[in-house]
Amino acid sequence: MPEVRCIDADGSQIGVVSTRDALIRAEQQGLDLVEVSPTARPPVCRIMDYGKYKYDQEKKLKAQKKNAAATKVKELKFHANVDTHDYETKVRHAREFLESGNRVKCSLFFRGREGAHQELGFDVMNRVLDDLKDLANAEQPPRLMGRSIIMLLTPRTAAKGKS
């Protein structure tokens, strides 16, 4: 790499110069010579403070993570023989969670001999899904995992716009 296209610290084009001249110019300014585009012919190098550049990149990345909407997963636990009032209360809570943009994980646990009647558990989960179909999509439909049935609901995009 005997020659490089060099860009000064202020962004102005210096032009095609030898690598040695570019390094000397960078040292005179107290900065680093950083290869920006190695595949170009001739390669493009920029005179900059590399430490400050990396610091700014990390700062931008942290700001992006901070501004990203962190969706939380709220969990509701059911049983196969859930009473109507308890069921309605839990569905109302699920509705609130979905309206605020959270995902909802519905878990139904079988105790003792309830596992022999798994269809009752699937009926409860399908009833939850049916009651919340105006607000939620089933990201993960009800499925049996060991002694429990698990379902994951995500808010519909149209539902977010209403609130």
DSSP β-bridge partners for residue 143: 150
Q: Which of 21, 23, 18 is nearest to 34 (CA)?
A: 23
Tell me, what's the pLDDT at 69? 63
Q: What is the pLDDT of residues 79-110, one digit of tens each?
A: 989 999 999 999 999 999 999 888 999 999 99
Rounded mean pLDDT of 9-22? Answer: 92
Tell me, what's the pLDDT at 26? 93
- Is the entire prediction scored with pTM above 0.75? no
CA–CA distance, 158 with 89 (Å, rounded to integer): 24
Rounded mean pLDDT of 28-41? Answer: 92
> What domains lie within the chain, and their CATH numbers?
3-67 (3.10.20.80), 73-162 (3.30.110.10)
Q: Which of 75, 37, 49, 64 is nearest to 152 (CA)?
A: 75
Mean pLDDT of the chain: 89
Residues 6+ apart with CB under 8 A from 122: 142, 149
The helix, strand and coil proportions of the chain, stated in percent and rounded to the nearest 5, come to 45, 35, 25
Q: What is the pLDDT of residues 62-79, one digit of tens each?
A: 888 877 666 788 999 999
CA 152, chain centre distance (Å) = 17
